[in-house]
Structure 1
Amino acid sequence: MKFLLSFLLMITFLNADYNEGKEIFDNKCASCHKGYISFSKLKENYFQRNNELLNLEMPTVNMLAWAIMESSRKIGDPSDPEMRVIEIEEYLKEYLANPDINNSICDAHVLKYYKKKEPMSISDEEAVNLAYFFMEYKENRLKSTPQKIKVLDKKYNEKELLKEAQEQGKHFLVYATSQSCYFCKKMKREVLDLEEIQEKINDDYIFLEVDVDFVTLPFNLKKKFKGMTPTFFVLTQDGVLLNTYPGAWVKKDFIEILKENL
């Protein structure tokens, strides 16, 4: 029995492929499920605008991937990826064949906005490739849209920055630093350069690095700046200041800063 299970797992992984799954999703699912929309914009849409901002009738692709892989209703054990892909495969086949809101893994708060899904049949091969697509979605999205750290020079354009933030539905995280700042270098090395931190920033923020010895802070922040580096400013997508955080921060506290402004 153990040998048979190992054999089945091996066959599953040999046939599974992220790109194949993406093609299946694009051909069979993308007409209903929209592409990536930042979670900050999704939160605004559902929790502040009652879905009147985006008028979504189905969850976006990143909402599906998050629900399957990271939510409280996530499928399978993250420490056992071989078994997890099979559990996701089985869930997809069962749910698509008989869509039932009571069996959905989406956030209960947003389900009321969705239209009834029609049954859909997929093959075992399609299901396993879709499972792989969702399992590797976040990693591949980050590879295709790497962390953008904008180091502002004297010629930056505030209107262009605001346009970018509004199009992406992201806040600004403005980082006041200087070349002579010891604690800036320490925090960069121990916190800002960490892949986990860069992913969290890139999900919800446009990160602007400003060397205050040479470049003026954007959005009239000079009036709020007390001269301490590092200092972090969090602003809305419209350039409105939400919070100011002077000083260097350890990883745990910096993650809380990122969370509390969303």
Structure 2
Amino acid sequence: MIKKAFIILFACFLSTNLFADFQEGKKLFEQKCAECHKGFISFKKLKENFYERNNKLLNLEIPTENMLAWAIMDSSKKIGDPNDVDMRVVEIEEYLKNYLANPDVNNSICDQAALKYYKKKEPLKISDEEAELLAQYFMGYKADRLKNMPKANKELSSNYNEKEILKEAQAQGKHIIVYATSKTCYFCKKMEKDVLNLEDVKETMSEDYIFLKVDVDYVSLPFGLKKHFKGMTPTFFVLTSGGELLNTYPGAWIKSDFLQILKENL
């Protein structure tokens, strides 16, 4: 019993210290880096900027904070082994110190499509302690952002405001999913239980979509979708942030197929 209590206390102590290191790293990033590196911009908008608009949309000369976190943690050139957290911290620290001391585009882990638009970075020396705190910040960035992200899932009431929905979607650079459902729909309930209410699915949707649930027995579909609705529930309508219909998906879907729907509309 005493051993179990010790393990729990140690785990709490470790978690608290990791959180403290992340917060200190975040503060350091805001003090030393945020003036140049812009805050979060959705990857959908970043892809449009670099791959479709030749950087004319955002005119970025330096990567955003989420681009840095993604390059370090999740890109094909990511630093370290995701399965070895302790060693990964050390490797990220070393990369940050070495790269900042001698910024060389040939050693950059940033996306190649974006590199040609970035201005030359001046050398910057950081201490071992600063490198460790920044490493902790980047390692905790994604989890912290998902935890604090405003919930994108909404159930529309009869007095919804289309303009406000579009304003929110455009401000966040997100597409819109309208989910036509009914309280008497068996397949809707099953899909909500098996797919829509799963945490990883909700997190994936929140990253790039505003999700609107509409009970079609009581609330009219927004954005003129009634003319596209064939009466089947569930039906999913995917729209741009401006309210333009991209695709319609009638019927229930398993998790893998629904995630593919989310991916193919970005």
Q: Point out where structure 1 has 5 or more consecutive residues left out of the alignment.
A: 1-9
> Aligned residue for 1:85?
89
Partners in 2 of 1:136 and 1:199 — Cα distance? 16
TM-score, normalised relative to structure 2: 0.91
1:11-57 Cα offsets, whole Å, 9 max, x none, are xx879710010011001110110000111111111112111111111
Instruction: Kindly indicate whether residue 258 of structure 2 is the aligned counterpart of residue 254 of structure 1.
Output: yes
The answer (yes or no) to whether the contact 1:174–1:233 under 8 Å persists in 2 is yes
Aligned residues of 2:152 and 2:209 also touching (Cα < 8 A): no
Assess if the C-alpha contact under 8 Å between 1:234 and 1:244 holds in 2.
Answer: yes
**Distance in 2 of aligned mates of 1:232 and 1:241:** 11
Moved over 2 A (4+): 13-16
Q: Which residue of 2 aligns with 1:183?
A: 187
How many angstroms apart in 1 are the aligned matches of 2:76 and 2:191? 32
Question: Alignment RMSD, CA only?
Answer: 1.5
Q: Pick the aligned partner of 2:116 from 112, 117, 125.
A: 112
Change in Cα spacing, 1:39 to 1:15, as seen in structure 2 (3 Å) is closer
Give the corresponding residue for 1:51.
55
- State the alpha-carbon separation in 2 of the partners of residues 259 and 188 from structure 1: 19
1:93 is paired with a residue whose SS is helix
Compute the displacement of 1:256 (Å).
Answer: 0.6
Q: How does 1:52-71 map to 2 (within 5 A)?
A: 52-71=56-75
| Residue of 153, 158, 165 corresponding to 2:157 | 153
- Give me the whole-angstrom Cα distance separating, in 1, the residues matched to 2:181 and 2:123: 55
Give the SS at the match of 1:190. Answer: helix
TM-superposed CA distance for 1:148, in Å, is 2.2
Following TM superposition, by how much is the alpha carbon of 1:198 offset from its aligned partner in structure 2, in angstroms? 1.0
Unaligned stretches of 5+ residues in structure 2: 1-13
Q: What amino acid is the match of 1:81? A: V
Does 2:99 align with 1:76? no
Out of 114, 127, 134, the position equivalent to 1:130 is: 134
CA distance in 2, matches of 1:147, 1:89: 33
Give me the whole-angstrom Cα distance separating, in 2, the residues matched to 1:15 and 1:41: 30
Please give the alpha-carbon distance, in whole angstroms, between the structure 2 residues aligned to 1:76 and 1:215: 50
Determine if the alignment matches structure 1 residue 163 to structure 2 residue 135.
no
Alignment identity in percent?
70
User: Structure 1 residues 116, 226: closer, same or farther in 2, change over 3 A?
Assistant: same
Q: Shift in Å at residue 160 of structure 1?
A: 0.8
Per-residue deviation, residues 83-119 of structure 1 (Å, max 9, x unmatched): 1111111111111010011111111011011100111
AA at the equivalent of 1:188: E
Aligned residues: 251
**Per the alignment, in what secondary structure is the counterpart of residue 183 of structure 2?**
coil
**Cα deviations across residues 169-208 of structure 1 (Å, max 9, x unaligned)?**
1110111111111111111111111111111111111111
Does the 8 Å contact 2:49/2:57 carry over to 1?
yes
Is the counterpart of residue 96 in structure 1 residue 100 in structure 2? yes
**In the alignment, is the contact (CA less than 8 A) between 2:176 and 2:240 conserved in 1?**
yes
AA paired with 2:240?
A: T
2:247 counterpart of 1:243: yes
SS of 1:226's partner is coil
Q: How does 1:196-211 map to 2 (within 5 A)?
A: 196-211=200-215
8 Å Cα contact 1:15/1:125 also seen in 2: no
Q: Which amino acid aligns with 2:61?
A: E
Q: Does structure 1 residue 121 correspond to structure 2 residue 121?
A: no
Q: 2-side partners of 1:190 and 1:125: how far apart? A: 45
* Residue from 157, 178, 181 that aligns with 1:174: 178
Give, in whole Å, the separation in 2 of the partners of 1:194 and 1:14: 27
* CA distance, structure 2, for counterparts of residue 14 and residue 165 of structure 1: 34
Aligned partners of 1:147 and 1:199 also within 8 Å: no
The one-letter code sitting in structure 1 at the alignment partner of 2:152 is K
**Pairs within 5 Å for 1:210-225:** 210-225=214-229
